[in-house]
Amino acid sequence: MTPLNACLQRIRQRLPLAAVALGMALLTACASPAHRAPVEERKAGARSPTPAPAPPPAAPVAVADPTLNAPAKPALPGAENAGKPGYYSVRPGDTLIRIGLDFGQSWRDITRWNNLENANVIEVGQVLRVLPPTADALGVSTRPVLAAGAVETRPLDGRPATAASAAPMAAATEPTSAAAASSAKPPVPGAPAPTVPGRDPDENLSWAWPSAGPVAAGFDEAKTRGLAITGKAGDPVLAAADGRVVYAGSGLRGYGNLVIIKHNATFLSAYAHNQALLVKEDQAVRKGQKIAEMGSSDSDRVQLHFEVRRMGKPIDPARLLPPR
């Protein structure tokens, strides 16, 4: 008996039969070649697994328009009056002093008419009243304004002069002989007497030269807007007509130390480049009264810049001043 068989016999004697069978199976498995892992083979036409559904597209994100919820910009003061007679829309560079000069008004009056809290704060586009609240803005704004260098002439009856009315008004309005009187037509009984319009009292101003110096530059509506009268520093500057001071200061660029006198509802005069001002705002002055001393403030030489404005429009002062 071989040693192997003897060994197996001893094992059989000691172990149960089932354990012997298991040991034999293990020995057999160890002695057999290695096996591959089984591979699953799919038959043709077999159903493939269902792919996972794609995610739904993302909903569009709404972007808020900042202008939709932004508070509306408040309308500028007086916007409802834009374009109306007697009102003015503020432009870049405007000040109440310049607006007053351009419309023949006191800047203080414009401040009061528009209930302005601060006269130094006005906005571009703001609409300001530039005529008194009691004035007929339409009637005032349509009054004739003189062309540059022209002077309005009126007959004694106050009507505008025409070529047909160039003859002396005494001959046209009053008979000068008995024959003319006899040829005059008698008035119709019961007919109202004709009314003769009077001359505008604002035109009846007595003017005087504001300085005795020579005129260095004449009137030019687009450039000078007045007369340049030369002299020495400290020479007296006189009021050209009766009136009331509506501005005395240096707040208007290009004019230096400036005095503005309002003579009536039609005329005002301006005196610029002074070295000293001798009057205050709201002060009444008389023609020929010394109101300033000639100087060179905001100017390259000593001179008086003298303007006359009719309804705010510059006119040639030489046409109103008496001959020298």
Return d(Cα 292, Cα 179) in angstroms, integer. 59
Average pLDDT of 233-246?
97
**pLDDT > 70 fraction of the chain, expressed in percent and rounded:** 57
Neighbours of 108 (CB within 10 A): 15
Distance, CA of 49 to chain centre: 76
Query: Looking at the predicted structure, is the pLDDT value of residue 41 above 80?
Result: no
**What class does CATH assign to 79-141?**
alpha beta
Classified as helix, coil or strand, 99 is helix
According to DSSP, the β-strands at 284-285 and 290-294 are unpaired
pLDDT in tens, 74-111: 778 888 989 899 999 999 999 999 999 999 899 999 99
Q: Tell me the sheet residues that pair with 293.
A: 236, 276
pLDDT in tens, 258-294: 999 999 999 999 999 999 999 999 999 999 999 999 9
CATH 2.70.70.10 residue window(s) in the chain: 215-319
pLDDT in tens, 20-36: 555 565 545 544 555 45
Q: What letters, b where the CB count within 10 A reaches 16 and e where it falls short, cover 278-309?
A: bbeeebebebebebbbbbebbbeebbbbbbbb
Position 161 confidence tier, pLDDT thresholds 50, 70, 90: very low
Does the CA dihedral 159-165-167-169 come out positive or negative? Answer: negative
Return d(Cα 116, Cα 316) in angstroms, integer. 34
Query: Looking at the predicted structure, is the pLDDT value of residue 255 above 90?
Result: yes
More confident residue, 236 or 93: 236
Q: Maximum Cα–Cα distance for the chain, whole Å?
A: 196
Which positions ≥6 away from 249 have C-beta within 8 Å?
Answer: 97, 257, 258, 277
For the domain 215-319, what is the CATH code?
Answer: 2.70.70.10
Q: State residue 179's pLDDT score.
A: 44
CATH 3.10.350.10 residue window(s) in the chain: 79-141
pLDDT in tens, 127-150: 999 998 876 544 444 333 333 333
The DSSP symbol for 107 reads H
pTM over 0.75: no
Q: State residue 145's pLDDT score.
A: 36
